[in-house]
Chains A and B, each alone.
Chain A
Amino acid sequence: MSRGAQTLQAGPIELPDGPPPRREVVTSAREVVAQISDGQAVAIGGFVTANHPMPLVRELIRQGKKDLTVIGSATGGLEIDLLLGAGVVRKLIAPYCGAELYAPLGSCFRTMVEREQVELWESSEYILYAGLQAKAMGQEFMAWRGGIGSSIVDLNPDLKVFPSPLGDGKEYVAVPAISPDWAFLHLGWADSYGNGQHPGARFGDRIMARAADRVALTVERLVPNARIRANPVMTSVPYADAVVVAPYGSHPYASHGFYAEDAGHIEAYVRATAGFRRGDRSGLDAYLEKYVFGPDTQDDYLDLVGGRTLRALEAEYEHLTLGRHAFDVFGG
């Protein structure tokens, strides 16, 4: 016998009350975030302006978490900038934080990196994925050629350059495992057992889910298990630890299969945070007060945004995708 190995069950297992029920994991953003301790590592899924689990992101700020390591997507969006500005992040693992044409760089990100108010774990897209993959595979590191000859390996002392053992004189980067305590992801739908499906692009969500110790999903819809079984190939995140039912849960960002990003809201955020570089937090604080601390629930948040805006974003998505709405395309 060694660590934790069990003794033999010699006879039948007696269960007078019958087998236990299957575990259901539907819960609230508040209860998920209450399980996060200060200093833990949280990966935030999605990509640039799409599929960010915003009820969980806002709840991290609302509950005043501190010293988090935040792991952004390979192209992190302004949801990371918001977390930085709100002061919940001690260390950031993300190759990029911005919104491309809306904002080349997040204002809080740029300012806090320049002033060394956040510890930036310098990386690149595949260095991020290699670290997540090492954790997902139960290895200490992954070997990768990318980064050799660049400044990334100088800026990040955790990345170790080593000579190839094959004797060809080449150098490799050892990318150590990146270990999220939680991954927060936004998917189209899930069942109550935590089986989640993406009706559109999956970005880097699957490797984040596989690397994380625990996974929480925000989803547009809760669906019956039969709906998941009808197309198990689509189940990108099996058995999440928590499912938070949150229609419009990616707003102000897009949710593939449902609605477009809210350009007006994103532009307003960019304007609100423009003063941050000059040491003026007032715009950011006003945004936090209105959209994060103000609304108690996701429904209250949606009331602020307004039904008219949300319907317009759905219409824009339908227009942009020629009406191939997720529920039509994928048998919903």
Chain B
Amino acid sequence: MTATADATTGQPAGAQPADTQPASWKETMAVFLARQIRDTDRICSGAHTEISFAATMLAQKMHAPNLKLQLGGGAFLCNVADVEVDELPKTSVDYRIMGWAEAYFEHHDTFNHYGPPGGRDYYENTDRWRSTNKYFFADKFFVGGIQVDRHGNANLIGTGKDGHFTFRGPGSVGINDVTTVRDAYVFMTAHDRQRFVMASDYVSMPGPKTYREKDLMGNGPQFIVSPRCVFDFSGPDQTAALAGLFPGHTEEEVAEHTSWDIVRSPHFVDIAPPSATELRILRTAIDRKGVLQK
């Protein structure tokens, strides 16, 4: 509980009641990602984004207390199912993460968790290995990008060509290292034709087609998530197909802001807005300062 929050509701002072103010796009994405998390998943929410931090902690509190959750790069295994969270961490080494942790290991030791239990069989017969308890990096992982293309190649490195940059991004960070991650979610916080391109200038995480061709152990990107919609991948070339629309967004609007032709996935769904319960827990137990509402 912080000084600026109402002592009885835990809401930011002056805010509207927790479940009446409409969900922001960040809250909608966080709730959507939380829904995708299963109780026995092992997930790293690595480099700091407030949306994926909130999503994973929300899942642990709502339906996945057995989620093995590495928060931050530095490598804290956290369980907040029964722990009070005062506010979202500000960086991936925010010291309050230590207060939620059951284990800490050196950052370089993170890479000693890249081998899944069962080796390659983990991906073929995932349910057989769900009974194992150990932490693995990771069943799901959220990958940022300044560009993503129709084959799911994510680019955090920069724009330009032939080793030159017209725009320099953060770099690949650790993204190209996570070859054993089961399902990566390419995670875009803006959706326009500059970002959703036919072919990424550089590649920090290759798309699922390249994962298959190069026989990398994991599945590679399985979804692209933006504030407007979700894509999955289908066909021999693993091409992006529209798998879901967030409330208030349309296929025409997505087509207007995407460089490739929009095709609906056979698995297309309309994504339900955050429920009152989801929003209440997000706002009163995870994001008490309303970071996701800004």
Contacts and interface: CB of A to CB of B under 8 A. Distances in A.
B132 A241 contact: yes
Interface stretch (B100-108, B153-161, B191-199, B285-293): B100-108
A104 to B, nearest CB: 33
A239 B244 contact: no
A10 B244 CA distance: 8
Given A10-B244, A12-B277, A136 B35 contact: no
Contacts of A5: 182-183, 219, 222, 232
A239 B35 contact: no
A158 B3 CA distance: 63
A169 B225 CA distance: 48
**Most B Cβ at <10 Å: residue of A138, A177, A213, A239:** A138
Given A9-B36, A194-B133, A207-B112, A1 B267 contact: yes
B202 interface: no
A215 B123 contact: no
A225 B102 contact: yes
A80 to B, nearest CB: 24
Contact of B66 (A12, A23, A214, A232): A23
A232 B104 contact: yes
B45 interface: no
B113 A136 contact: yes
B112 A8 contact: no
A9 B103 contact: no
Given A10-B269, A135-B115, A138-B217, A15 B36 contact: no
Nearest to B31: A12
A175 B38 CA distance: 36
B132 A213 contact: yes
Nearest to B208: A2
A228 B112 contact: no
A238 B68 CA distance: 10
B178 to A, nearest CB: 10
Contacts of A213: 117-118, 129, 132, 134
A123 interface: no
Contacts of B183: 5-6
A10 B35 CA distance: 8
Interface string B19-42: 000000000000000011011000
Interface in B225-258: 230, 232-234, 238, 243-244
A239 B180 contact: no
Contact of A4 (B66, B126, B132): B126
B176 interface: no
Interface of A: 1-13, 15, 19-23, 25, 133-139, 177, 179, 191, 193-195, 206-207, 209-215, 225, 228-229, 232-233, 235, 238-241
12 contacts: A1-B232, A5-B183, A10-B35, A12-B277, A22-B79, A177-B119, A210-B115, A213-B118, A213-B129, A214-B134, A232-B102, A240-B134
Interface of B: 35-36, 38-39, 62-66, 68, 76-77, 79, 81, 98-99, 101-105, 109, 111-119, 123-124, 126, 129, 132-135, 179-180, 182-183, 208, 212, 217, 219, 222-223, 230, 232-234, 238, 243-244, 267, 269-272, 274-275, 277-278
Given A8-B244, A214-B133, 4 more contacts: A22-B65, A194-B133, A235-B77, A235-B103
